[in-house]
Amino acid sequence: MIKRRQNPRIPDDEMFAIRAYIEAHEGENEIDEDLLKVHHDESGNFGKYTREEFFDAIKEFRGDLAPGVILSGIMVELALERLEKGTDLLAMAEYSVDIPDAIQLLTKCTSGNGKLIIHETGKYALTLFDRKTGKGIRSFVDSKNLEKFPLLNKWIMHEARISRDEMPDLIDSIISDYDSIISVMKVVVSEDIYEDIGEEDSFIMCPLCFEPMAAKYGDKCAFCKGVSPFESVG
Ligand SMILES: [Zn+2]
């Protein structure tokens, strides 16, 4: 069993996608204390990438070295290190900014293959979990030490824009101090979040414009219903 984190900042009613993995195991002797000690690979590698290669990959993928993708990358690694080998991996991002990019760079979970679920709670958190059981590891920003790191605090809480001059210090602090601001917890992800993954959509031809479309969106397309996000200009 895992020791339950006493974390008043995460009220139960906010944990609608996740319930803590606290039952089904018994005996204090089985507590794996090391599991909750955040410790990223000392080599500084990110999966198949060295740190420098990962930074290059971020720039290549999205055009800028976003500190949020660096932090998310560490969060991905912290979760991966704690998952059993052979896990049929799914990923859930709780915020659509930055986190999905790190997941897609470091795992085979992508928006396109459906294995990356973006379930917005607005929190800087991600969960990697086993499709067969829903069991996984959630990495999240833990505020208990955040104020000890003023630059990280300013950035994470969006108190002010990070200047160009501050950026190297911010990245350095992410790399050096992440273990003070990231925590991990065991979770079981609710099945309704991921049960439809991999199911093939059935398709129809829109009867008005004759473009193929997934049938689950209605008997004619959004454009022909007049609710399209664009208008034709010739
Ligand atoms: Zn149509």
CA of 72 to the centre of ligand 1 (A): 39
Q: Which CATH number belongs to the domain containing residue 147 in this structure?
A: 3.30.1330.130
Closest CA to 74 of 39, 48, 117, 32: 39
Cα–Cα distance between 19 and 14 in angstroms, integer? 10
pLDDT recorded at residue 48: 87
Q: Which CATH number belongs to the domain containing residue 220 in this structure?
A: 3.30.60.80
CA of 216 to the centre of ligand 1 (A): 14
Domain limits at 232? Answer: 201-234
Residue 86 has pLDDT above 90, yes or no: no
22 or 88, which is more confident? 88
Model's pTM, two decimal places? 0.80
Cα–Cα distance between 199 and 190 in angstroms, integer? 18
CA of 200 to the centre of ligand 1 (A): 21
Q: Hey, is 136 helix, strand or coil?
A: strand
Would you place residue 166 in the very low, low, confident or very high pLDDT band (cuts 50, 70, 90)?
A: very high
Q: Which residues surround ligand 1, an ion (CB under 5 A)?
A: 206, 208-209, 221, 224
Q: Hey, is 142 helix, strand or coil?
A: coil
Angle at 91 between CA 87 and CA 93, to 5 degrees: 155
Taking only the tens place, the pLDDT of each residue in 116-156 is 999 999 999 999 999 999 999 999 999 889 999 999 999 99
CA of 227 to the centre of ligand 1 (A): 11
Span 174-187, average pLDDT: 93
Cα–Cα distance between 179 and 183 in angstroms, integer? 7
Q: Quote the number of domains for the chain.
A: 2
Q: Is residue 5 part of a domain?
A: no
